[in-house]
A and B are shown apart, each in its own frame.
Chain A
Amino acid sequence: MRRLSADETHMVRFRLNNEPVEGAAEPRTLLSDFLRHVLARTGTHVGCEHGVCGACTIRIDGTMARACMTLAVQVEGAEITTIEGLAPEPGRLSVLQAAFRKHHALQCGFCTAGILMSLDTLLQAEPEADEGRIRDVLSGHLCRCTGYRQILDAAVEAARELRKETLHA
C-alpha cells in the first residue's frame, strides 16, 4: 500500500512516446494537466473535462483513454503515447495524419489530436476495421467543424493504405 498526501507534490515517472519522463504532481493533478503544464506537451487538448468530448484522448498501455479522467499519479510506470508520438520522424506525417491532411479532415484542429489517437489505436489493433467500426470509435469524439464526413473518408483511406503496407512488408 502506498499513500500520497493531498498537500504535497509527488514525483511521477512513466514512459511518454518511448522516452522516460518525470515530474511533480499533487494527487489531484489530472493527467491532461500534467502532460500540458508540467511536461509542456501541449498537443493533447482539453475540452469538457468530464469524458464527453474526446479532445484529450491518449493511449495508456495500448488502450484509448481520456487523459482528463485519469490522475497523473495513476499512470506511474505506464507506457503513454500522445499526439506528439504519432509522426514517424520530424517533418514526416504518419499515414493517418497524411490522410487527414489530404481529405481536409480538420478545420480548427481542436478535436484532432484526440481523434487521431483513437483512430491510430484502432487501426493498430484492428487493421481490418471498416467504416462501420470507424464510426463506432468516432462516436466517442465531438467535432464541430467538419461534420465528420471528411474524417471518415480519411480514416477509411488510411486503413486501406496501412493494409497495403503490411501486405508488401
Chain B
Amino acid sequence: MKPAPFDYIRVDTLDEAADVLAQSADDARVLAGGQSLMAMMNMRLAQPAIIIDILHAAGSRRPEIAKGRLRISALVRQEALSTHVGLEQEVPLLAQAAPWIGHIQTRMRGTVCGSVAHADPSAELPLVLVALDGQVHLKSRRKRRTVPAQEFFLGMMMTEKADDELIEAVDVPLTPAGTGTAFREVGRRKGDFAIVSCGAVVQGTTTRLAVGGVNDTPAVADWENLAPADVAEALNALAWSLDARDDMHASARYRRDLVRRLGETTIREARSCAD
C-alpha cells in the first residue's frame, strides 16, 4: 500500500504542467488534491513515472461566474465549491449534490476538476456535470478545446482527455429561474461511493434524470410532458435499459429497483420546486 517510485515536479503555472505533459505524455499524471489518484497509487493501480503537482500553481481557488456560466477551475477544492456563497441560487443541483461528495476530510483536499478527470462511475460531480449540460475545458501545449460533459465520459475511469491534456476548468450554465432540481443517492455509509445516485432537472415541459453508479458513465434520460401517472413506467423502462450488473456492493436487481424508487423521489422533489 505504498506508491511505486516517481519523479515529483511542482509547477508554478498550468502552462508548465502542459509542457511537462507534452514531453512525457502517458508517463506523467497531474496531481491536484490527490483524493482519487493517491489512493490509486497506494494500491498500485496507477504507477506514473512522473507526478506533476499543480496545487501550488497560480490560479483561482474559488468558483467564478462568467458569461452566464459557473466556472470552476483546476485548483478549486470541492469544499470551496460547497461553501461558495450563492450556489443554491446559481446552480442548485450542485449545492444539493455537494454534501454527498466524499467526506468533509476528502472534500477539503480534493478538487472538482480532479474528480471529473478521475471519472468514477458513481461519482457525484460527473453526474451533475452531465445532468446540467456542463463543459470540460482541456488544455495542452498543442491547443485548447472544450468538450461537452456528455461526450467527455467514455467509460469507467476513461475520458476524452488525451495523455498530454489536463483539465483547465469545468463549467455549468447558471440555472434559469423556475427550474426544479433534486439530488439523491444511496450508499452503505454517508460519504462512501454511491450504489445508485440520481439527479433530476425539471424545466418547463422537460423532465431529465441523470443516473450514476449503474452504467460505466452517467446515464441521462429526457422526457417531454411526462405525466405523474406515467413516471413509474418510464422509470421501469429506464431501469431495464441500463446495464445494471451484480458486484460485491449490490445486485443488478437492487440497482434497478433503486433507479425506480430513487428516480421517482428525485423527480417528485425536482417538480415540487419547479414553476
Chain A interface (Cβ < 8 Å from any Cβ of B)? 1-7, 26-28, 30, 33, 49-52, 54, 57, 60, 63-66, 68-71, 73-74, 118, 136-137, 139-140
One of B105-113, B153-161, B248-256 contacting the partner: B105-113
DSSP majority for the B interface? loop
A139 near B38: Cβ-Cβ < 8 Å = no
Contact (A51, B5) CB under 8 Å given A2-B10, A63-B108, A64-B105: no
- Interface: B223 (CB within 8 A): no
Contact (A6, B5) CB under 8 Å given A69-B38, A74-B55, A140-B191: yes
Q: How far is the CB of B107 from chain A (nearest CB, A)?
A: 9
Contacts of B55 in A (CB 8 A): 74
Contacts of B143 in A (CB 8 A): none
How many angstroms from the CA of A65 to the CA of B189 in the assembled complex?
Answer: 19
Contact (A51, B38) CB under 8 Å given A74-B55, A140-B106: yes
A3 near B8: Cβ-Cβ < 8 Å = yes
How many angstroms from the CA of A27 to the CA of B51 in the assembled complex?
Answer: 9
A1 near B12: Cβ-Cβ < 8 Å = yes
Q: Which of A27, A50, A60, A65 contacts B43 (CB 8 A)?
A: A50
A69 near B35: Cβ-Cβ < 8 Å = yes
Chain B contributes a number of interface residues (CB within 8 A of A) equal to 38
Q: How far is the CB of A132 from chain B (nearest CB, A)?
A: 11
B42 near A68: Cβ-Cβ < 8 Å = yes
Q: How far is the CB of A71 from chain B (nearest CB, A)?
A: 7
Q: How far is the CB of A30 from chain B (nearest CB, A)?
A: 7
B5 near A7: Cβ-Cβ < 8 Å = yes
A64 near B5: Cβ-Cβ < 8 Å = no
A28 near B105: Cβ-Cβ < 8 Å = no
Chain B 25-39: CB-based contact to A (< 8 A → 1; otherwise 0): 000000100110011
B7 near A3: Cβ-Cβ < 8 Å = yes
Report the nearest A residue to B99, measured CB to CB.
A136
A137 near B6: Cβ-Cβ < 8 Å = no
Contacts of A57 in B (CB 8 A): 105
Contacts of B148 in A (CB 8 A): none
Report the nearest A residue to B77, measured CB to CB.
A63
How many angstroms from the CA of A65 to the CA of B108 in the assembled complex?
Answer: 7
How many angstroms from the CA of A71 to the CA of B106 in the assembled complex?
Answer: 15
Chain B 93-136: CB-based contact to A (< 8 A → 1; otherwise 0): 00000010011111011000000000000000000000000000
A27 near B6: Cβ-Cβ < 8 Å = yes
How many angstroms from the CA of A69 to the CA of B40 in the assembled complex?
Answer: 10
Q: How far is the CB of B105 from chain A (nearest CB, A)?
A: 4
Q: Which 10 A-B pairs have the closest CB atoms?
A: A140-B103, A27-B8, A49-B1, A50-B39, A69-B38, A6-B5, A63-B108, A139-B190, A140-B105, A64-B105
A136 near B104: Cβ-Cβ < 8 Å = yes
A66 near B9: Cβ-Cβ < 8 Å = no
Q: How far is the CB of B122 from chain A (nearest CB, A)?
A: 14
Contacts of B79 in A (CB 8 A): 63
Report the nearest B residue to A6, measured CB to CB.
B5
A-B contact pairs, 27 of them (CB 8 A): A4-B7, A4-B10, A6-B6, A27-B5, A27-B51, A33-B2, A49-B2, A50-B43, A51-B38, A51-B39, A51-B106, A54-B105, A64-B105, A65-B109, A66-B105, A68-B42, A69-B38, A69-B42, A69-B109, A71-B31, A71-B38, A71-B53, A73-B10, A74-B34, A140-B102, A140-B103, A140-B106
B190 near A136: Cβ-Cβ < 8 Å = yes
Contacts of A63 in B (CB 8 A): 79, 108-109
Contacts of A6 in B (CB 8 A): 5-8, 49
Report the nearest A residue to B17, measured CB to CB.
A1
How many angstroms from the CA of A6 to the CA of B4 in the assembled complex?
Answer: 9
Contacts of B108 in A (CB 8 A): 63-65
Contacts of B7 in A (CB 8 A): 3-6, 27
In the complex, chain B residues 164-209 whose Cβ is within 8 Å of any chain A Cβ: 189-192
- Interface: B91 (CB within 8 A): no
